[in-house]
Chains A and B, each alone.
Chain A
Amino acid sequence: MHHPVRRLEVEDLHSWYGESHILHGASLHVNQGEIVTLLGRNGAGKTTMMRTLMGIVQQRKGRAVLDGQDLLAMPAHHVARLGLGFVPEERGIFSSLNVLENLLLPPAFRPSGMALEQIYTLFPNLQGRDTTIGTRLSGGEQQMLAIARILRTGADFILLDEPTEGLAPVIVEDISRALGELKALGLTIILVEQNIRFAMANADRHYVMEQGRVVDEFSNEALQSNMAKINAYLGV
């Protein structure tokens, strides 16, 4: 077995929204080609972790290094250039832009980005919808659009925040299938997920967050046998 290439390393990461201290020294790492989930209750700091890595939350300290580059030292708009793509929880589809404009919005910093035909093969629902206002799409289609526009940029490390939230089971299957294809393409993904079954079906490893810290870690194989523990963490 060859040694995994470590891409992201987070150590003792703290961050604040104004006065409130959200991340309290979280640590984790992600290897090339892995899908890693962040599990935890609401308010555990999963979304904040992503926003902190992207530089959307600016009050932060600790260490976060992607491919040897210090994320905390660079301005927020440089992060995307490292190949880090963000699909936010609320999907972030712009209501003043149509579907095509939403799709073309993020600049493609790498030549490896998907062409539109590839995107339409992956998400057939998006084809022929160019002039529809982005927010007129269904929730599932908006999620596809949010993922698609990041794939177009050539990002090879994607932060995916609750992609299945509020979606019908059929659509969740579509997203799951797409995720499998992305993994096959060698993309690295951090996934925040409440839906344990979706997480298990797609991820290699799982981190559990609680009160702004990473408190536990399971391989996907170990997850099944630790279900009671997981449920206790998640308060199910």
Chain B
Amino acid sequence: MPDIFGVPAAVLLGQVLLGLINGSFYAMLSLGLAIIFGMLNVINFAHGAFYMLGAFVTWLCLTQLGLNYWAALVVVPIVVGVFGAVVERLFLRRLYRIDHLYSLLFTFGLALAMEGLFRYLFGAAGKPYPVPETLTGVFRLGFMVLPVYRAWVILASVLVCLLVWLVMEKTRLGAWLRAATENPSLVTAFGINVPLMLTLTYGFCVGLAGFAGVLAAPIYQVSPAMGSSLIVIVFAVVVIGGLGSIGGAILTGLSLGVIEGLTKVFYPSASAIVIFVVMVLVLILRPAGLFGREN
């Protein structure tokens, strides 16, 4: 295969694929953050913690209950989502009417507490989780060897993101949600139970973070810190994309993953900070974000 900018194309394509995996997680999490922000006006700092919770519950399902990966893929998002809905109902709901900073601080505290609890219970070290048997093995693509599981992660997360996007943009439910983002009291006057919708939305988006956690368990080590290190990057993704658009959140997430992957090829030591550098550039050139609308 030919070289591109002095780098073998195989290496380049390989990193793009690896970048897409990270990008899948950015996309799933920033998608949820964007919807939660749009509907509830809450910056959900605990989003990373719910992702971590998802991975941990997956691990616990296997080690304590003997529930396998596929069962976890169904059960865990529901468990995490229900937990999130309870949090919204009991706490966040009381904070909507005051400064948004307080709900951010509340979820910040929640993230700290959850991370602290899991570190206390299970220690800081990462726990390995086996790749499910049906997804072991590799695809030989010629330019690289792609583990089947990683291909599955990209496929599953892109499908889920597309599904959420379709529901939001093309269905009646999505129209209600978008309308409630703009003018909740009018939507209520039309006979729609907006408070319930907010609880379900929060639960769903948090469940989506839990789903991402299940997908992550066999790739990354399951550890208490896995959520917080991801959420800060996702925040940068959200600032880059702007909080206005769901499709924008998905695209920004995926493409930043790829940019990160490419940086690993050309300038490896910058790969950890490239997303933040992009954020700074975007803030200077287009402060509302790539897909954002300033309000």
Contacts and interface: CB of A to CB of B under 8 A. Distances in A.
| Chain A–chain B contact at Cβ < 8 A | yes
A179 interface: no
Interface in A78-112: 78-81, 86, 88, 92, 94-97, 101, 104-107, 109
Contacts of A106: 190-192
Contacts of A77: 188, 191-194
Q: Which of A54, A88, A105 has its CB near the most chain B CB atoms (within 10 A)? A: A105
A117 to B, nearest CB: 20
Contact of A105 (B179, B193, B194): B179
Contact of A96 (B179, B185, B194): B179
Contacts of B191: 77-81, 106-107, 109, 153
A94 B178 contact: yes
B189 A101 contact: no
Nearest to A77: B193
B144 to A, nearest CB: 41
A56 interface: yes
Interface in A50-93: 54-56, 75-81, 86, 88, 92
A106 B193 CA distance: 12
A78 B195 CA distance: 13
B189 A96 contact: no
A78 B187 CA distance: 12
Given A77-B193, A77-B194, A92-B183, A105 B175 contact: yes
Nearest to A135: B182
B181 A96 contact: yes
Nearest to B177: A96
Given A77-B193, A77-B194, A104-B172, A56 B188 contact: yes
Nearest to B183: A92
A156 to B, nearest CB: 14
B14 to A, nearest CB: 40
A96 B169 CA distance: 9
B178 A76 contact: no
Contacts of A92: 183, 186
B249 to A, nearest CB: 15
B34 to A, nearest CB: 13
Contacts of B178: 94, 96-97
Contacts of A78: 191
A76 B189 contact: yes
Contacts of A76: 185, 188-189
B106 interface: no
Contact of A94 (B172, B179, B188): B179
Given A77-B194, A104-B172, A56 B189 contact: yes
Given A77-B194, A104-B172, A54 B189 contact: yes
A94 B183 contact: yes
B186 A88 contact: yes
B136 to A, nearest CB: 44
A86 B189 contact: yes
Interface in B154-211: 172, 175-176, 178-179, 181-183, 185-194
Closest 9 pairs between A and B when the two form their complex, measured CB to CB:
A80-B191, A106-B190, A96-B178, A101-B175, A54-B189, A56-B185, A77-B193, A92-B186, A76-B188
Interface of A: 54-56, 75-81, 86, 88, 92, 94-97, 101, 104-107, 109, 153
12 contacts: A77-B193, A80-B189, A81-B191, A88-B189, A92-B186, A94-B179, A101-B175, A104-B172, A105-B179, A105-B187, A107-B190, A107-B192
Given A86-B186, A107-B192, 11 more contacts: A56-B186, A75-B193, A76-B188, A77-B188, A77-B192, A88-B186, A88-B189, A92-B183, A96-B182, A105-B190, A106-B192
